[in-house]
Amino acid sequence: MTPVRGLRHPRIRRYGAAMSARSNRRSRIVGSTAGAIVALVAMLFGATAPATAAQPDPIQRYVALGDSYAAGQGAGIPLDACLRSDAAYPVLLDAVPRINLLRQPACSGATISDVASTQLSQVNRGTTLVTLTVGGNDLGAGEVFAVCAPDPESFACATAVAEAQQLLASGVIGQELGGLLLAIAERAPNARIVVTDYPIPFVAGWSTLTDTVNAATAALDAQIAAAATGAAGAGANVHYTSLTLAYLGHQVGDVDPWLGSDQFDALTFLHPTTTGQGVYRDAILVAIG
């Protein structure tokens, strides 16, 4: 009988199907074996899956607290009653990529208690960066200079100096600042808190009065540093940044001071110039990496 073209014998069809099934099983076995070998090699030699693209650093949600140094007094035209200016270091930081200045309640004349009562509420759980410059008004070194400058030998000057020294000796400024730092950390648990100090304002040896103010400023800076260290030891994410060395060679009495040097200009005297504010910005950028 002559086979009809186009038709396959049943046994041939069965044989082909069996061959196909065996081929599929073989492919699965080979694939499974290959996968096991790849996994074994990865385990033995530490191979890893291809890395995904690195994610950019998150945007810093920033709040600036403090006194006239943080407000920018003397570095530009005052914008409001707090003497904030566009040259303030918080504004300069806001221009840095991935730093977003949300609020700047810093105000000229603010003390530690003022920050606690009127500015602290501006930070919250969404805040991821806080800067703080405060304590100068608690000590009142500028006021001591103002009292003493007309007559350093006067009774009023001696009294002002004695009161400042007594306040420093009590340690109360450091204690209050430490409490403020812990309060900031409690309200903003996700924030990095950068605490700055104050530059030593005058060239050493300029006068007995300016050396007295320098010594008081150095003692204040030491209490700020101790407060920051204590808060960090208590678990707060606090970083201390000193401006003492940064201003050397640019103090009042130097050729190119980064602090206002005209004692008759109350707006600018002993406050960072535009360049001085930039130095604060740079120091803070180093602190936050």
Q: Does the pLDDT value for residue 289 go beyond 90? A: no
Alpha-carbon distance of 66 to 85, in angstroms, equals: 14
Give residue 214's pLDDT band: very low, low, confident or very high (50, 70, 90).
Answer: very high
The answer to pTM > 0.85 is no
Give residue 22's pLDDT band: very low, low, confident or very high (50, 70, 90).
Answer: very low
Q: Does the pLDDT value for residue 49 go beyond 50? A: no
Give residue 113's pLDDT band: very low, low, confident or very high (50, 70, 90).
Answer: very high
User: For residues 240 and 224, is the Cβ–Cβ distance under 8 A?
Assistant: yes
Is 32 one of the annotated active-site residues of the chain? no
Of 20, 27, 68, 207, catalytic = 68
What per-residue confidence (pLDDT) applies to 142? 83
Residue with tokens 């703080």: 132
Q: Does the pLDDT value for residue 8 go beyond 60? A: no
Helix (H, G, I), strand (E, B) or coil at 137: helix
Q: Does the pLDDT value for residue 56 go beyond 60? A: no
Q: What is the pLDDT of residues 77-101, one digit of tens each?
A: 999 999 999 999 999 999 999 999 9
Of 85, 108, 239, 271, catalytic = 271
Q: What is the pLDDT of residues 251-269, one digit of tens each?
A: 999 999 999 999 999 899 9
Residue with tokens 């410059």: 133
What per-residue confidence (pLDDT) applies to 55? 53
Kindly state the helix (H) or strand (E) to which residue 131 belongs, with its residue range.
Answer: strand 129-133
Percent of the residues in the chain that have a pLDDT greater than 90, as a whole number: 73
What per-residue confidence (pLDDT) applies to 57? 65
Give me the mean pLDDT over the 142-168 stretch.
Answer: 89
* Least confident interval from 28-32, 58-62, 63-67, 176-180: 28-32
Helix residue ranges per DSSP H, 78-207: 89-94, 112-114, 136-139, 141-148, 155-170, 172-187
Alpha-carbon distance of 239 to 16, in angstroms, equals: 76
Alpha-carbon distance of 27 to 32, in angstroms, equals: 8
* Start-to-end C-alpha separation, the chain: 91
Is 23 one of the annotated active-site residues of the chain? no
